Amino acid sequence: MKEEVFNNITGWYEEVRFKWKVYNKYEVLNYEELKDKFNFEIQVPKDYHYIYAPDNEYFNKSYKVYNPVEENIDIFLKFSQINTDNKDYILDWISKYGLPGKLGDRKNHLFNEDAKRLVEKGIIYPYEQFVSKINKANFLLKLYLLTVVNSDYKEIKKHTTCEKLENEMYSFNFKNLAGEIYLLEDKPNNSDYGYLALNVINNKIRKELKGIVPIIGDISHVAYEGDEKDEWNISSSWQCNNLMSALYLHFYWLVTQNERIKKCEYKDCGNYFSANRTDQKFCSTSCRKKHHYHQNK
């Protein structure tokens, strides 16, 4: 699988080292309930609920480990299309892939070091922040599909305004790009929306991929006697530090490699997925079966 991913999708063949934990169970707690769980002092904002893994490594240590970069090619598409109306859908996704491991910037300073460590280990995560990360990913997916896949600028205008795109730019701290939007504001033409949409996507990917860093590892050394020079072999690889970065690495691949994104043809699903074959019509076996079942009734 790994070889396929790195040869076909990225063109590089380098390992991304990453092991992410998925605990047995997750639950949603309020601030007081969360604080009661730990015998050390954790400081977190009071106005959030928290997703918490009761079987975390400080207690029972029961979890599975996987590499989200190498497996689950559709992890970004699945994340960005979680139905946020229902807590169960959210917990269901988390029980498969784990918690994000990285806070948003805005309230980061309200977490003390112990609380941050719990977040980084995928043991806790603010529920409301998780929902807003899904919504943001969904917004970016929509922008991508409308711009690159459908070139439907009218529809982009329906979903967003120059103003909204501009706010996105500010939230990513790319103020000079936001400045360019002022110039467009008088009379933005259609492709301006596409141009801005792709810039918004680019900025978000750049920001999230900061969690992936190069590492020089597996150094071996051969020393020769006499005149011959020593030989050093240094392998290169990348290390991913949190699930959010892995998600956005997948999005980066989708965007840059023109991945075949399709809409599931089962009417009650309609989710986007990346097709392995050109004639693939459904996102999953279960959608294919349900579609045929309803057709034959």
Residue ranges in contact with Zn ion by CB under 5 A: 264, 266, 269, 283, 287
CA–CA separation, 297 and 293 (whole Å): 6
Instruction: State in angstroms the smallest separation of the CB of 281 from Zn ion.
Output: 9
**Separation in Å, CA 62 to CA 22, 88, 127:** 9, 21, 22
From 281, 84, 95, select the one nearest 272 (Cα to Cα).
281
Question: What's the maximum distance between 2 C-alpha atoms anywhere in the chain?
Answer: 83
Between 74 and 166, CB nearer to Zn ion = 74
Instruction: State in angstroms the smallest separation of the CB of 287 from Zn ion.
Output: 3
Sheet holding 50-52, edge to edge: 27-29, 50-52, 124-126
Between 86 and 108, CB nearer to Zn ion = 86
Instruction: State in angstroms the smallest separation of the CB of 267 from Zn ion.
Output: 10
Between 198 and 269, CB nearer to Zn ion = 269
Instruction: State in angstroms the smallest separation of the CB of 54 from Zn ion.
Output: 32
CA–CA separation, 255 and 249 (whole Å): 10
Give me the residue label for tokens 């009379």.
187
Between 80 and 129, CB nearer to Zn ion = 80
Please give, one letter per residue, the 3-state secondary structure of 30-42.
CHHHHHHCCCCCC
Between 227 and 279, CB nearer to Zn ion = 279
Instruction: State in angstroms the smallest separation of the CB of 121 from Zn ion.
Output: 33
